[in-house]
Amino acid sequence: MNDERAIQEVLARYVRAVDARNADDVAELYANDGAEILSYNRAGTPERIAAFTGSRAIRDAVANILPPHPALGWAHHATFDPIVAIDTDIASLQAQFVVFEVRGAQRPAAGWPKGASGGQGTITPIESGYYKISLRRTPDGWKITENHTILDLPPALPET
Amino acid sequence: MNDERAIQEVLARYVRAVDARNADDVAELYANDGAEILSYNRAGTPERIAAFTGSRAIRDAVANILPPHPALGWAHHATFDPIVAIDTDIASLQAQFVVFEVRGAQRPAAGWPKGASGGQGTITPIESGYYKISLRRTPDGWKITENHTILDLPPALPET
Amino acid sequence: MNDERAIQEVLARYVRAVDARNADDVAELYANDGAEILSYNRAGTPERIAAFTGSRAIRDAVANILPPHPALGWAHHATFDPIVAIDTDIASLQAQFVVFEVRGAQRPAAGWPKGASGGQGTITPIESGYYKISLRRTPDGWKITENHTILDLPPALPET
């Protein structure tokens, strides 16, 4: 696998780990000194919301901040249109993303309504934005040194 | 074209053929002994819904089970974040997907309402999940030996 | 970077420039004699809506026709499932797309409602379709010679 694909697959594994709420798998993708930065995209200019430094802090943030899926719930962090730049042992990856929230319906005791067909429930885009990721080549493969996640929607934070 | 891109393009052709409701084009992407397996993603664990074995059975399933688009209707099976692994003549491809249902509005006899602009109608995510695809190198290119489609939403099936 | 990735990144830059409403950056991606063609996907058959020829006309079209984002608004042209074909110095790129309209909520003077969490506002798919792009290799990299955008939803146009 060439470096460009390897770097894209870091993000592919990141979104799967986040959607599975697997904090260890997320943290594993970062360098030990890696950072996660959250910003709000205020009319095109990123405005810092929060930052977590070190793969241990990132693991704890995923474990403690990301809400667990409800029964019949799931999510997809979907990424699009990657731009990759590699300079020997460091690299950058930019991507757009949309988060889809999946909420399955509970099958009624009497069965689905007459005429129901296909997936029962709702799929709603709830977040979108850009990832701006920096990576470093290590003996264990490409690791994230900084993941700057820029959110389009103004966030309601616990402390506000 | 390298093998990784060739494998990704099998999926790119699959989603176009499914969205065009072209059963022959879908079947053509499978090995003769290829299989289509549908599962429901019950809290992370796939639960078998249905299986079709052989490209002929898959062609018939597409032709008979997938509903035709209504007037002004279309769909997009969109895939994201592929992970590809190749071992000489066999390969695997994992991807996330969302299905968007497109329903165009009928232009009123008196024209669109004052101030209407852009596309008229709705686009709704109706299914999502993961593809886990196995492929084999053949003289006719990479062919699908198994397409395991894992759906996030509980499905209402004809027989339930 | 290989040609296939370079061609995919032309589209990745195109969607970012369109979403940023940067007409100069959009025009820069086209050959001087490049064309933008808009069609409506009438049941699978493209029907011409409009055409713009020359990178200057395309720049003007982006500057004058694309509506600016409202306050707290943004958009993502997201593309999926590319198919790339290269013949020495010319190439084609097909992709599916969905446009997501982002509309942030205004934070109430008294703060977000109790229990609000995550992004506040809505993300709505408003357009979808296919890009069929032709490119030419130039001393400044791959440039778009024709971008045929095929829209799924019937469009309400200023002149209708």
pLDDT in tens, B101-149: 999 999 999 999 988 989 999 999 999 999 999 999 999 999 999 999 9
Amino acid residing at B47? E
Tokens 């290829």 locate to: B34
What is the DSSP-derived secondary structure letter of residue B74? E
Provide the number of CB pairs (under 8 Å) joining chain B to chain C. 84
**Of all residues in chain B, what percent carry a pLDDT higher than 70?**
98
**Residue B8 pLDDT level (bands cut at 50, 70, 90):** very high
> CA angle, A114 as apex, A112 and A118 as ends, to 5°?
60
ipTM: 0.95
Q: What is the DSSP string of C123-151?
A: EEEEEEEEEEEEEEEETTEEEEEEEEEEE
The pLDDT of C74-79, averaged and rounded, is 97
Taking the C-alpha atoms of residue A14 and residue A22, their distance in angstroms, rounded to an integer, is 10
The tens digit of pLDDT for each residue in B79-100 reads 999 999 999 999 999 999 999 9
Amino acid residing at B33? D
Residue B81 within any structural domain of the chain: yes
Classify strands A141-151 and A30-42 as parallel, antiparallel or unpaired.
parallel
Residue B49 neighbours by CB under 8 Å, 6+ apart: B38, B39, B40, B151, B155, B157
Residue B158 confidence (pLDDT): 63
Q: Look over chain C and give the mean of its residue pLDDT values, rounded to a whole number.
A: 94
Residue A59 within any structural domain of the chain: yes
Q: Of A158, A94, A102, A99, nearest to A132 (Cα)?
A: A94
Residue A159 confidence (pLDDT): 54
User: Is the separation of the CB atoms in A93 and A67 below 8 Å?
Assistant: no
Taking the C-alpha atoms of residue B128 and residue B98, their distance in angstroms, rounded to an integer, is 4
The pLDDT of C28-34, averaged and rounded, is 97
Q: Exposure of C112 by Cβ count < 10 A (0-12 exposed, 13-18 middle, 19+ buried)?
A: middle
User: Is the separation of the CB atoms in A37 and A51 below 8 Å?
Assistant: yes
**Residue B160 pLDDT level (bands cut at 50, 70, 90):** very low
Residue C74 within any structural domain of the chain: no
Total structural domains in chain C? 1
B69: chain C residues, CB-CB within 8 Å: 43
Taking the C-alpha atoms of residue A157 and residue B138, their distance in angstroms, rounded to an integer, is 53
Q: Which residues of A make CB contacts under 8 Å with B?
A: 1, 5, 9, 11-13, 15-16, 20, 69, 71-72, 74, 76, 78-80, 100, 102, 104-105, 107, 111-113, 116-121, 123-125
Amino acid residing at C74? W
Residue C44 confidence (pLDDT): 78
| CB–CB contact B154 A120 (8 Å) | yes
Which of A65, A81, A160 is the mutation pick for testing C, counting most C CBs within 10 A?
A81
Please check the confidence at residue B159 and state whether its pLDDT lies above 60: no
List C-alpha distances in Å: C59 to B82, C29, C66, C159: 34, 10, 11, 21
Strands, E, within chain A: which ranges?
Answer: 30-42, 45-53, 73-87, 90-104, 118-119, 121-138, 141-151, 155-156
What pTM was computed for the model? 0.96
Taking the C-alpha atoms of residue B81 and residue B126, their distance in angstroms, rounded to an integer, is 19
Residue B35 neighbours by CB under 8 Å, 6+ apart: B51, B52, B53, B54, B58, B145, B146, B147
Tokens of A49: 């919301």
User: CA B84 from chain center: how many Å?
Assistant: 17
What is the DSSP-derived secondary structure letter of residue A159? T
Residue-number span of the structural domain to which A43 is assigned: 3-69+84-96+128-151
Residue C16 within any structural domain of the chain: yes
At A44 the three-state DSSP class reads coil
Please check the confidence at residue C159 and state whether its pLDDT lies above 60: no
The tens digit of pLDDT for each residue in B13-62 reads 999 999 999 999 999 999 999 999 999 988 778 999 999 999 999 999 99
Taking the C-alpha atoms of residue A91 and residue A93, their distance in angstroms, rounded to an integer, is 7
User: Is the separation of the CB atoms in B135 and B144 below 8 Å?
Assistant: yes
Taking the C-alpha atoms of residue B128 and residue B122, their distance in angstroms, rounded to an integer, is 18
Residue B45 confidence (pLDDT): 87
**Residue C102 pLDDT level (bands cut at 50, 70, 90):** very high
Residue C42 neighbours by CB under 8 Å, 6+ apart: none
Taking the C-alpha atoms of residue C101 and residue C125, their distance in angstroms, rounded to an integer, is 6
Tokens of B45: 């664990």
Which of C101, C132, C153, C159 is the mutation pick for testing B, counting most B CBs within 10 A?
C153
**Residue A158 pLDDT level (bands cut at 50, 70, 90):** low
Residue C105 within any structural domain of the chain: no
Provide the number of CB pairs (under 8 Å) joining chain A to chain C. 84
Residue A106 within any structural domain of the chain: no
Average the pLDDT over each of A40-49, A92-101, C28-37 and give the range with the smallest value.
A40-49
The pLDDT of A62-67, averaged and rounded, is 90
> Which CATH number fits the domain that encloses residue B127?
3.10.450.50
Residue A160 confidence (pLDDT): 42
**Residue C160 pLDDT level (bands cut at 50, 70, 90):** very low
Selecting from B72, B80, B123 the residue whose C-beta is nearest the C-beta of C154 gives B72
Residue A28 within any structural domain of the chain: yes
Selecting from B81, B84, B127 the residue whose C-beta is nearest the C-beta of A119 gives B127
Amino acid residing at A22? N
Classify strands A155-156 and B30-42 as parallel, antiparallel or unpaired.
unpaired
**Residue C43 pLDDT level (bands cut at 50, 70, 90):** confident
| Among chain C residues, CA nearest to A95 | C12
**What count of other Cβ atoms lies within 10 Å of the Cβ of residue A100?**
24
The pLDDT of C135-150, averaged and rounded, is 97
Please check the confidence at residue C60 and state whether its pLDDT lies above 90: yes
Residue B51 within any structural domain of the chain: yes
User: Is the separation of the CB atoms in C113 and C106 below 8 Å?
Assistant: no
